[in-house]
Structure 1
Amino acid sequence: MIARRPWTTRTALALLAALLPGGPAWAGSAAQPGQTVGLPVGAQLPVGFYFVNLSSFGVRDTRPLDSESNVNLPTFAWATPWTIADARLQFFVTQPVVASSGRGAPYQSGVGQPLLAAQLAWDLGNDLGFSYLFGGYLPIETRFLTQSASITQRFAVSYTGNGWNLTANLLHGIFIDDRSPTGTLYPDYLNLDLTATRKLGQWQVGAVAFGSTDLPTGVGSDRPQGQIAVGGLVGYNFGPVNLQAYLTRDVVERNYGRRETRGWLRAIVPLYQDKGEVEPNRTLVTRRQGE
């Protein structure tokens, strides 16, 4: 797995409402829903150092003009040779960069919240893996994005046998401060990223889905947000570089101001790997299973 998994706002659009004249101070989560689909995040990475970049562009059908956002999540991942309680210790650092335009307004751009995280990944045998990630998003001053520091924990399970990647990743976010300096409410949140893909030679194809929901805040004026999106993924192994592309569309949305269509492109670049652990002819970065 190469994380998200990790980042800065549920979508940049979730906070654009706060910029609109007379608009309410809506919430946004720290982790972008859908950012980990396509990756076997429950499985151990081969020992090594990796660079992963996930870039996505979304259009939400707001009226009278569409709202747009571009999110980039460059991540460095280090899969160490060390173990704790039989789990591989892995570290992740992500520095998001975001640009967005609400309802045809001029684009704004800036850096999002850096993520620092550690993960324990267990090989359970029979091509099953489970991981637990714990980390934090650091505070920033980019006003159109989530600003408050938060804690993130993620629970993932993956099956990677017979060319399959069947993965579920549950993300739970807890904000340190529940209000931004301008009064935006930050509810805790749950995101669920789902992957069901199959390797066909150098290709990888399949279905993806994700959902997100704000957790109750007890604030009467709160307008909790949520969404469910589905789509398809295709990937190809070019040798040292793996590419994945997927397209998703909201089928359900709540308080986002209409549904979003988003295209995603991910590049996975192993900067160093222990070749003895790498699965031959891989389409994903996965660890060779024990014989």
Structure 2
Amino acid sequence: MNGRSLTTACRFGTVLLAGAASLFSGQAMAASAAQPGQTVGLPVGAQLPVGLYFVNTSSFGVRDTQPFGSESNINLPTFLWATPWTLFGARLNLATTQPVVASSVRGAPYQSGIGVPLMAAQLAWKIGENFGVSYLFGGYHPVETRFVIQNASLSHRFAATYSGNGLNLTANLLYGIYIDPISPQGTVYPDYLNLDLTATKKFGKWEIGPVAFGSMDLPTRFPGYRRQGQFAVGGLVGYNFGPVNLQAYVTRDVVERNYGGHETRGWLRVIVPIYKENTNSAAPSPSVTGPARFAGR
């Protein structure tokens, strides 16, 4: 796979800033419709080449709740169309994600089902040779799966990426707003902020570096709700296998509030370009070539 093709597959990971799943609802769970850490490792502020891509991020986590641990597996299959159109000088991207979730809370039997699907549009600007910024706006549609978040919400995401010298230095801020903050079962869904951070470097086909993410519930008008938050750190390794790019990382909470315990989570991401436009003008800088997020809350 040449540098431009590899870059295309890697940068497609940006689609994951549109990929999300609903977190588990209930007394011990928070209300982030976007999975904290879901865009870790991705140059989400960079401009995508024109093309159609598929990406899936799968993660498995265990939280140290008592008397038994809480486990969750989340899959985020996503399709992205990086269109040939521009708006306000930015590349227009369209994305859709349908999460599939399974969880066991404090040793209870596993439940599985679909999470809230996301449809989103993103504008990505290339500012200079090695710097880009992006803005995503999307909507999560309601579902009837009771053990996950059920309500509709809006998502705003603001990202910046520096990609010079083989680096991927990215910050992505995710702001979620619920249209209705109360579920049919009476669960409170507060608005939220998530922050995903990446600092990796390429060595040939390999990519390695530290990653981190944080999340917090915003203040709510409902008295008695215990706001939740966390901050996790970890390490990432990626490798380019040719047409398929893989990326794996492990994270661990260093701070948590009202979750009942710290979480350790392993992540695996696969990126497959279905179609991409074969033009040099659409290709981003090869300096970020390589392989391009659900925490049980």
Measure, in 1, the Cα distance between the counterparts of 2:70 and 2:221. 29
SS of aligned partner of 1:57:
strand
- CA offsets 1:10-68 (integer angstroms, 9 cap, x no match): 4x3xx2xx3xxxxx475421000000000000001111011000000000011111110
* 8 Å CA contact 1:26, 1:223 repeated in 2: no
1:284 CA displacement: 4.1
* 8 Å CA contact 1:95, 1:112 repeated in 2: yes
Indicate yes or no: 2:2 matched with 1:2.
no
Match of 2:290 among 274, 283, 288: 283
- CA offsets 1:156-211 (integer angstroms, 9 cap, x no match): 00011111000000000000001000000000000000000001000000010000
Measure, in 1, the Cα distance between the counterparts of 2:235 and 2:18. 18
Paired residue for 1:208?
A: 211
Measure, in 1, the Cα distance between the counterparts of 2:166 and 2:286. 11
**Please, which runs of 5 or more residues in structure 2 have no aligned partner?**
1-13, 293-297
Measure, in 1, the Cα distance between the counterparts of 2:219 and 2:263. 24
* 8 Å CA contact 2:19, 2:77 repeated in 1: no
Paired residue for 2:269?
A: 266
SS of aligned partner of 1:198:
strand
* 8 Å CA contact 2:18, 2:138 repeated in 1: no
Match of 2:61 among 58, 74, 88: 58
SS of aligned partner of 1:3:
helix
Paired residue for 1:105?
A: 108
**Please, which runs of 5 or more residues in structure 1 have no aligned partner?**
19-23, 286-291
Counterpart of 2:17 in structure 1: which amino acid? R
Counterpart of 2:290 in structure 1: which amino acid? T
Match of 1:179 among 179, 182, 186: 182
Measure, in 1, the Cα distance between the counterparts of 2:235 and 2:286. 25
Indicate yes or no: 2:171 matched with 1:158.
no
Counterpart of 1:135 in structure 2: which amino acid? G
* 8 Å CA contact 2:211, 2:236 repeated in 1: yes
1:81 CA displacement: 0.9
* 8 Å CA contact 2:28, 2:259 repeated in 1: no
Counterpart of 1:283 in structure 2: which amino acid? G
Counterpart of 1:238 in structure 2: which amino acid? F
* 8 Å CA contact 1:26, 1:184 repeated in 2: no
Counterpart of 2:94 in structure 1: which amino acid? F
Relative contact order higher in (CA < 8 Å, ≥ 6 apart): 2
Paired residue for 1:147?
A: 150
TM-score by length of 1: 0.92
Measure, in 1, the Cα distance between the counterparts of 2:68 and 2:60. 16
Q: 5 Å matches for 1:47-86?
A: 47-86=50-89
* 8 Å CA contact 2:17, 2:44 repeated in 1: no
SS of aligned partner of 1:224:
coil
Match of 1:127 among 126, 130, 147: 130
What is the RMSD computed on CA atoms of the aligned residues?
1.4
SS of aligned partner of 1:2:
helix
* 8 Å CA contact 2:53, 2:81 repeated in 1: yes
* 8 Å CA contact 2:104, 2:110 repeated in 1: yes
Paired residue for 1:38?
A: 41
Runs of 4+ in 1 over 2 A off after TM superposition: 24-27, 275-282
TM-score by length of 2: 0.90
- Tell me the matched-pair count: 275
Measure, in 2, the Cα distance between the counterparts of 1:64 and 1:150. 33
SS of aligned partner of 1:162:
helix
